[in-house]
Structure formats: structure tokens, C-alpha cells
Chain A
Amino acid sequence: MEDFLLAFLNWQIVQEAWPILWDGLKSTLALSAMVVPLGIAGGIILAVLSTLPSPWVRWPLRVWVDTFRALPPLVLLIFLFAGLPFAGVDIGAWGAVAVGFFLNTGAYYGEILRAGIESVPRGQIEAARSTGLTSGQTMRHVVLPQAVRNVLPDLISNTLEVVKLTSIASVVALPELLFQARQAQSVTYNATPIVAAAVVYFILLWPVVRLLSRLENRQLASRR
């Protein structure tokens, strides 16, 4: 028991490692603040494009979305970081993470928002167009706000996944929380920093999880 506490829940190690972990937490927050808006922006673009009837848009879009949903994000990230330099394109760790998340999470946000857009009744669009709004204005002021509201739990749930997924940036040596925890672990020869990082993730995300289940319950109740 003593050994267990010393190896995993060693308070002294936490104190020692905390500055390193704190830097990691800041990077994780910065990373999330970058990739979540990027993914949502990518998702909005894909979802709006998916409303165009032309097969010249539809099919390439389908292939695009399917590709980036099927490709493991870790494979994509390593390709962007370690593969592209062979073609003379070196976008660095942050660049690789930005592009990778834009492609991967954009595809997921896109599918969620597309379902949201499709849930808005046709009459809403007709009413807006009959008052002279352009299709772009109709999308922005009438359709998207309702679409987002209709799929809010799914959007939050996906955002939760995206924030957790930022930990894969550790494989390209981006000093986010998990990477820093590994650093601290190797400096201190102790597993406590990993446990501490897990606790930090939990504290960060648990409120979002609570919010999500309240939203889901409310949505269930309103369907009854």
C-alpha cells in the first residue's frame, strides 16, 4: 500500500512536477481554443456546402467527409508532422495539429451540423425567402441558429471528444498536458504526474459532462 501511494499518489512529486504540468495545462487550453473553433468552422463550411444540390459538390464532399472520418486521427497527425516534410512541406507541430484537427473534427462537426440543418423545416426557409432574404442570409439568420440549437448536445459531446483528443498532440512533441506529464514522469521517476494529469483532465471536463447530461435529459423530457 505504501509503495502504491508513493508511486501513484505522491504529494511531494505533485508539488515538484506542478510547474511542468501547469505549462502543459496552459498549452492544452490554448490548443483547445485553437482546434475547437477550427473544427466548428470546418464543420459549418461542410454542412452549408452539403445543402447545395449540385452533384459536383455533393460527391466530392461525401468522399472528403468519409475519408477524414475513416482515417484515424493519430495516423493523420503523424503523416502531417512526419510524412509531409519528405515532400518539402514542414508545417511544424502546431501546424500539423491545426490542419489535422481541422480535417478530422471538421468532418464530425460537419455531419452533426448537417443533421441539424436538415432538422429545420422547409417552411422556415420558404418564409425567410418570401420576405426577400437571400439564401445566405436565410442560412445565417434562420436555419443555422435553429440547427445548432437542435443538435446542441451532440455538438457539446463532440467538443468534449475534441478536447480529450488534443492529448494526441503529445506524439508530435507539442508540450500539452499529457506530454508534460510524461516529461515530469521521466524526471521524477514516478507515475504520480500521469495521475495528476488525469485528475486535471477530469476537473476540466467533468462540468462539461454534467452540463451535457442535463441537456440530454431536458431534450428527452421535451420529446415526451
Chain B
Amino acid sequence: MSPAPIVDARAIHKHFGHLHVLKGVDLQVAEKELVFLIGPSGSGKSTLLRCLNRLEDPSSGSVVVDGIDMLDKRTDINKARQRIGMVFQSFNLYPHMTALGNVALALRKVQGLGRAEAEAKGRAALDRVHLAEKAETYPLQLSGGQQQRVAIARAIALEPRVMLFDEPTSALDPELVGGVLAVMRELREDGMTMVVVSHEMGFAKAAADRVVFMSDGMIIETGAPAEIFANPREERTRAFISQIERH
């Protein structure tokens, strides 16, 4: 990898009690790269993702994002997290705030913008996910797909350097998946660095630069989507992919 990677995680171990969930994982992501993490449930992909912005503290290893050592006690974690957007499987929009309120909260409270400026930026972010007209709508009045797009707007409004997606379409009805993937595709075309945990293999084939297959807390295999899907080297990868493709 020629330029310094924007995400550089090394030798990550994570224990939950006596469960050893990550067993020495390395993950580097280059700027503007879209990396897809796939693997059976319980393989540690979500945990790895959550270690990158320290929603989980790794038991050992190092995580450097955009030059910031995320595990250093002196790092202002709240400042660092603004550079790392995250989108969750269950959207996690604040139900007591409008779409715009959701997007503007961190702009105001974390970045310290005034109301007018935060709302202007918030509207611009909603516009990027094609929901400008829903600014005043509360989350429960939006479809799942729209909620997830508001959640994406909430993250990109902070102008992060990296976006993490934790199964962004798994909670959606099939007909709503397309809209979310389309927004993700546009983000990618705008040059966003993205790490995506997902089972959307079609999207991975079409949009990913690299696919990382994890199993049992380890990275088993990594490569271009065409290689991984057509000619997996490892038996476990092959088994997983044939199982997924049957669905």
C-alpha cells in the first residue's frame, strides 16, 4: 500500500469475558477505498468495525485513523470520532427530534455551530441523501429506507474522512434496500472512504475495491471482489460464498 492508509488497524484482539472475538486482525484501508467485510455471523466483522471508532475498546492492538492514534489515552476521542461517520443496522435515529434535528445535533453541540449554520449544513446533508423535503419529519413517520438515509446524512454532515457501515440494509424490507445502496454508491463516487459490513453481495461486486472475508475472529482471505467471488482460494470462503449466493 503506497500512501499511508487512512485506517490502519493492527493486531487487534478483542475479548468479551472468556470469548475471544477478534484474534489478531490487521486491516488497512486506503483513502477513497471501499472495503467490504463479509463473513458468517459471529465472525467478528461488526466488532472489528466498532473497534475502529472505539465503540468497543480493543483488548490489544493499535488503531490509527487519519493519523490519529485512537487508543492513546491522550487522544480526544470525541474530536476523533467526528472524522469517522457510522451507520447502524437499526438506524438509531433520535425519535424525539425531526430529521433535521437529528442531523444538526452534533453540528451544534460538537462542532459548536450556531443554529442557522447547523441547519443550513444539515439541510445540505439531507439533500445529499435526497430527503431535503423530509427535514421537518420525525423518524417514525419515515420508511426504514428513509430513516437509514437520514442516519447517513447525520454522519456525513460532520464531513468525516471515513464512513463505517454496520449492516446498513439488513433491517430493511427488500424494496427499500435499493435507495440506501444508491446513496452509498453516490458517496463512493464523491470519493468517500468506506468500510462496509454487509451481505449485499451484488453491491460488493459492483462497488467494492476490496473484499475481506472474516471467519472465527480472523481475516481468512482478502482480494478484489471478482477474485473473491469467482475464485476464492480458501475453502471456508468458498463455502460461505456458495451459501450466500444460494439465497
Residues of A within 8 A of B (CB): 121, 123-124, 126-134, 137, 141-142, 145-146, 149
B92 at the binding interface (Cβ < 8 Å): yes
Name the A residues within 8 Å of B90 (CB-CB): 121, 123
User: Is B82 an interface position by the 8 A CB rule?
Assistant: yes
Closest to A131 in B: B106
Contact A126 to B110, CB < 8 A, known contacts A131-B154, A132-B79: no
Instruction: Determine the chain A residues whose CB is within 8 A of the CB of B109 once the complex forms.
Output: 133, 137, 141
In the complex, the number of residue pairs spanning A and B with C-beta atoms less than 8 Å apart equals 64
B92-117 interface code vs A (CB 8 A; 1 in, 0 out): 11111000000001100110000000
B81 beta carbon closer than 8 Å to chain A: yes
Name the CB-closest residue of B to A145: B96
- Contact residues in B for A131 (Cβ distance below 8 Å): 81-82, 85, 105-106, 110, 154-155, 158
Q: In chain B, residues 27-61, which have Cβ atoms closer than 8 Å to a Cβ of chain A?
A: 53, 55
Given A123-B88, A124-B94, A146-B96, are A130 and B53 also a contact pair (CB < 8 Å)?
yes
**Can you pick out 16 interface pairs between chain A and chain B where the beta carbons lie within 8 Å of each other?**
A121-B90, A123-B88, A127-B94, A127-B154, A129-B55, A129-B78, A130-B53, A130-B55, A131-B106, A132-B80, A132-B82, A132-B106, A133-B78, A134-B78, A137-B110, A146-B95
Asked if B211 is at the interface (CB within 8 A of a chain A CB), the reply is no
**B contact set with A: CB distance below 8 Å:** 53, 55, 78-82, 84-86, 88, 90, 92-96, 105-106, 109-110, 151, 154-155, 158
- Cα of A128 to Cα of B78 in the assembled complex, Å: 10
User: Is there contact, CB below 8 Å, between B55 and A126?
Assistant: yes
Knowing A123-B90, A127-B88 touch, does A133 contact B96 (C-beta < 8 A)? no
- Given that A137-B109, A141-B109 are known contacts, is A129 also in contact with B95, CB under 8 Å in the complex? no
A124 to B93, CA, bound (A): 7
Task: Give Cα A129–Cα B82 distance, bound, in whole angstroms.
Answer: 10
User: Could you tell me the distance in whole angstroms from the C-beta of A28 to the nearest C-beta in chain B?
Assistant: 33
A141, B110: Cα distance in complex, Å: 12
Q: How far is it, in angstroms, between the C-alpha of A133 and the C-alpha of B109 when the chains are bound?
A: 7
Apart from A121-B90, A126-B92, A130-B53: 9 A-B pairs, beta carbons within 8 A: A123-B90, A126-B55, A127-B88, A129-B81, A130-B55, A130-B81, A145-B96, A146-B96, A149-B96
**Closest 9 interchain pairs by CB?**
A127-B92, A131-B106, A123-B92, A130-B86, A132-B110, A132-B82, A132-B81, A132-B78, A145-B96
Question: Shortest Cβ distance from B54 into chain A, in angstroms?
Answer: 9
Q: In the assembly, what is the distance between CA of A137 and CA of B110, in Å?
A: 9
Chain A neighbourhood of B110, CB < 8 A: 131-133, 137
- Interfacial chain B residues near A124, Cβ < 8 Å: 92, 94
Chain B residues with CB below 8 A from A130, complex form: 53, 55, 81, 84-86, 155
For the complex, give the distance between the alpha carbons of A211 and B35 in Å.
54
Chain B nearest Cβ from A15, distance in angstroms: 49
List chain B residues, Cβ under 8 A from A141.
Answer: 105, 109
Q: State A138–B156 Cα separation when bound (angstroms).
A: 19
In the complex, which residue of chain A has the Cβ closest to the Cβ of B151? A127
Q: Are A142 and B94 within 8 A (Cβ)?
A: yes
Residues of A with C-beta under 8 A to B86: 127, 130
What are the residues of chain B within 8 A of A126 when measuring CB–CB?
A: 55, 88, 92
Q: Are A132 and B158 in contact (CB under 8 A)?
A: yes
Bound-state CA distance A131–B79 (Å) is 9
Give the shortest distance, in Å, between A164 (CB) and chain B (any CB).
30
Q: List the B side residues contacting A149 at CB < 8 Å.
A: 96
